Amino acid sequence: MMSPTDSDREKEEGKHLQSNEKEQTKLQLMKALVEKQDPSSKEVDDFTLRRFLRARELDVEKGSTMFLKYLKWRRTFVPNGSISTSEIPKEINQNKMFMQGFDKKGRPIGVVLGARHFQNKGGLDEFKRFVVYILDKLCSRTPPGEEKFVVIGDLKGWGYANTDLRAYLGALSILQVN
């Protein structure tokens, strides 16, 4: 005789398999739609496409539109495919962000020291490139199948001198695009 928890577990697994099949079907539809509109997207893995599909609650059209906008943005903002440290020397020299291993679930950890951020006299573009550089580093360390990473913000010593609203809004705009 099965206990109620065994029965609940089987129902949950059945729902998961069903939703996984539905997601897989929609992912294939999205992949075909995206490749038709932008043939270079054939190089993108299923995990990346799935992230955009899930971000739009499995709506293939909305997920595809979001992904294609991302590709267009990425090509203009990161034309070489990645950002090198030579493009962000002032931000790197502030020593305000570090990679710190992995959490118990295997997700990469980044630590931001808010007191070390100072407004860059060169403008907002270098800071935006720095944000993309950091996000790329975190994502590259994320194991296959994992969609999350951890960022810890240490605000000890952070104050008015470190407050840079334009930079914070720039970082948020990048996060909204991705």
Query: For residues 167 and 170, what is the distance between their CA atoms, to the nearest angstrom?
Result: 5
User: Could you tell me the pTM of the whole model?
Assistant: 0.74
> Average pLDDT for residues 53-65, to the nearest whole number?
93
What superfamily in CATH does domain 85-177 come from? CRAL-TRIO lipid binding domain (3.40.525.10)
pLDDT digits 0-9 by tens, 33-51: 999 999 988 888 888 899 8
Secondary structure (3-state) at 108: strand
Domain assignments of the chain as residue spans, ordered by start: 4-77, 85-177
Q: Which pLDDT value is given to residue 17?
A: 45
pLDDT digits 0-9 by tens, 90-122: 999 999 999 999 999 999 999 999 888 888 776
> Average pLDDT for residues 49-64, to the nearest whole number?
92
How is domain 4-77 classified at the architecture level of CATH?
Orthogonal Bundle (1.10)
What percentage of the chain exceeds 90 in pLDDT?
49
**Average predicted confidence (pLDDT) for the chain:** 85
Query: For residues 136 and 83, what is the distance between their CA atoms, to the nearest angstrom?
Result: 9
* Res. 13: pLDDT tops 80: no
Between residues 110 and 177, the one the model is more confident about: 110
Beta bridge partners of 99: 110
Q: Which pLDDT value is given to residue 169?
A: 83
Q: Are 170 and 122 in contact (CB under 8 A)?
A: no
Q: Which pLDDT value is given to residue 105?
A: 92
67-93 burial string, b = 16+ CB within 10 Å, else e? bbebbeeeeeeeeeeebeeebbeebee
